[in-house]
Structure 1
């Protein structure tokens, strides 16, 4: 049975970006493990389960919240420091603003991504705000993992519609960095394809997805890259 590791934020993950890949890989027969920085239950961004949010809707909010509350793997994660990339066929990094404070800054998470991309068989899926980890993590030569890679992720154009002039989020937290800026500064070939409904890019063993509405397509692309046959 193929295996997947999901690296999920304790500071606020975006529900759809986790649940869509999780259920997609479940349906494909993957054995899924969830990990968080400390091993505590991941925290969901309340905005991502708000039925009145036009980017979420009632159906998605209900489905995502149910998975968040009832999925045993999300309720009993393991610490990132205790997992090994070699034990999994793929590692998935869902997004959400919360990752800017924990997953992207976690040295074990960065090592996990590096080992996945530099290993012989592993593949990684990185979505939305977690793309910034590619700017902060280094490869075996000390270069940013973003350097020279074709990627998509949460664009500045969208971020500008969320934060105020002081980079404050609606919940009062100050955004520490903008994903697009960090990835481009680290040498990534950034194209979020903002004129497209979905944006997914593949560069070697790395699959990246722009945001919530690209998360299912990104997961399906990951399966294709892994050579997994699906019924859809």
Structure 2
């Protein structure tokens, strides 16, 4: 059978609003799905708006947030090298891939949520019957994406994403450009969630969404099963 090709799209944004602190993507949300899919034989390409090394959220690299997957990544020079050389989103053709996956972290709320290349990629995957998977803050990238009939992509779809309670928990409610839970509801998504920080993922047709970092592997599992 043909190798399954999956595109991972990472943020290039590293400023946490006006706080003077750094953000980026959350390592666990990259590492858990990456290894889950790679270990099953997927061919993964990494892209970001600016290309090159996407910023890692420094908090996600702290000892408190290490998992077996992030520890594997820390020892894995080959994947670190791959990550340091992401291709530019503008150079990506959705036709080359079977699915797209967006890891979260706060970064995507600033750049990918309104990046025209990202929006058009998401729409292209969706309109060609290819799965679009996002986790944690990454469902924010669906904000401006539309179906062929120009209604919001998430309208009438079962979705989840980082909860208002979780954002409150990390004290960034007033820092982020928008709240993922509120946006999904405002766009007509049928939003559901589990308790804060518990693993929870939802699949509805081509859309797969996960609530928080702990949901990353669950999203990858749903995506893999869908592609097989």
TM-score under structure 2 normalisation?
A: 0.88
In structure 2, what is the equivalent of residue 2 of structure 1?
A: 4
- Give the Cα–Cα distance (whole angstroms) in 1 for the partners of residues 48 and 168 of structure 2: 28
Alignment of 1:9-158 (within 5 A): 9-11=11-13, 12-51=24-63, 53=64, 56-57=65-66, 61-67=70-76, 70-120=79-129, 122-158=130-166
CA-CA distance at 1:66 after TM superposition: 4.1
SS class of match (2:8): strand
Q: Kindly indicate whether the alpha-carbon contact (under 8 Å) linking 2:10 and 2:103 is maintained by their aligned counterparts in 1.
A: yes
- Give the Cα–Cα distance (whole angstroms) in 1 for the partners of residues 162 and 182 of structure 2: 10
Q: Kindly indicate whether the alpha-carbon contact (under 8 Å) linking 1:49 and 1:62 is maintained by their aligned counterparts in 2.
A: no
Q: Kindly indicate whether the alpha-carbon contact (under 8 Å) linking 1:68 and 1:74 is maintained by their aligned counterparts in 2.
A: no
SS class of match (1:126): strand
CA-CA distance at 1:64 after TM superposition: 4.0
In structure 2, what is the equivalent of residue 230 of structure 1?
A: none
Can you list the C-alpha shifts for 1:148-177, whole angstroms capped at 9, x where unaligned?
110111000110112267x1xxxxxx3111
SS class of match (1:131): helix
- Give the Cα–Cα distance (whole angstroms) in 1 for the partners of residues 70 and 217 of structure 2: 15
CA-CA distance at 1:135 after TM superposition: 2.4
Can you list the C-alpha shifts for 1:2-31, whole angstroms capped at 9, x where unaligned?
101000012200001011111111111111
CA-CA distance at 1:62 after TM superposition: 3.4
- Give the Cα–Cα distance (whole angstroms) in 2 for the partners of residues 65 and 107 of structure 1: 32
In structure 1, what is the equivalent of residue 177 of structure 2?
A: 176
Query: Unaligned regions of 5+ residues in structure 1, if any?
Result: 168-173, 228-232
TM-score under structure 1 normalisation?
A: 0.87
- Give the Cα–Cα distance (whole angstroms) in 2 for the partners of residues 58 and 195 of structure 1: 18
Q: Which moved more, 1:59-68 or 1:155-164?
A: 59-68
- Give the Cα–Cα distance (whole angstroms) in 2 for the partners of residues 104 and 68 of structure 1: 30
Query: Unaligned regions of 5+ residues in structure 2, if any?
Result: 14-23
Alignment of 1:210-225 (within 5 A): 210-225=211-226
CA RMSD of aligned residues (A): 1.9
- Give the Cα–Cα distance (whole angstroms) in 2 for the partners of residues 181 and 211 of structure 1: 15
Q: Kindly indicate whether the alpha-carbon contact (under 8 Å) linking 2:11 and 2:111 is maintained by their aligned counterparts in 1.
A: yes
- Give the Cα–Cα distance (whole angstroms) in 2 for the partners of residues 157 and 207 of structure 1: 21
Can you list the C-alpha shifts for 1:64-105, whole angstroms capped at 9, x where unaligned?
444588533211111111111111011001100011111112
In structure 2, what is the equivalent of residue 189 of structure 1?
A: 190
